[in-house]
Amino acid sequence: MSRSLGIPVKLLREATGQIVTIELKSGELYRGSMAECEDNWNCQLENITFTAKDGKVSQLEHVFI
């Protein structure tokens, strides 16, 4: 069986080193530099601006989603 990556995973990998915004189902927003991503969509971001559901904004150094 051939294991090939789908287009969404390829796009996610191309985002490495770029500024991305990730919105979770809970409504929380993470905006930062994509340090690394995995085929299962786990992502590591650096220098993040985190926006909580209530609108409170904070800065984070590293996040693994």
Q: Which domains does the chain have, with CATH numbers?
A: 7-64 (2.30.30.100)
- Reported as a pLDDT band with limits 50, 70 and 90, residue 10 is confident
Question: Structure pTM?
Answer: 0.84
Q: How many CB atoms lie within 10 A of CB 34?
A: 19
The string of DSSP letters for 1-59 reads ------HHHHHHHHTTTSEEEEE-TTS-EEEEEEEEE-TT--EEEEEEEEE-TTS-EEE
Whether the predicted pLDDT of 5 surpasses 90: no
pLDDT 10s digits, 14-51: 899 999 999 999 999 999 999 999 988 899 999 999 99
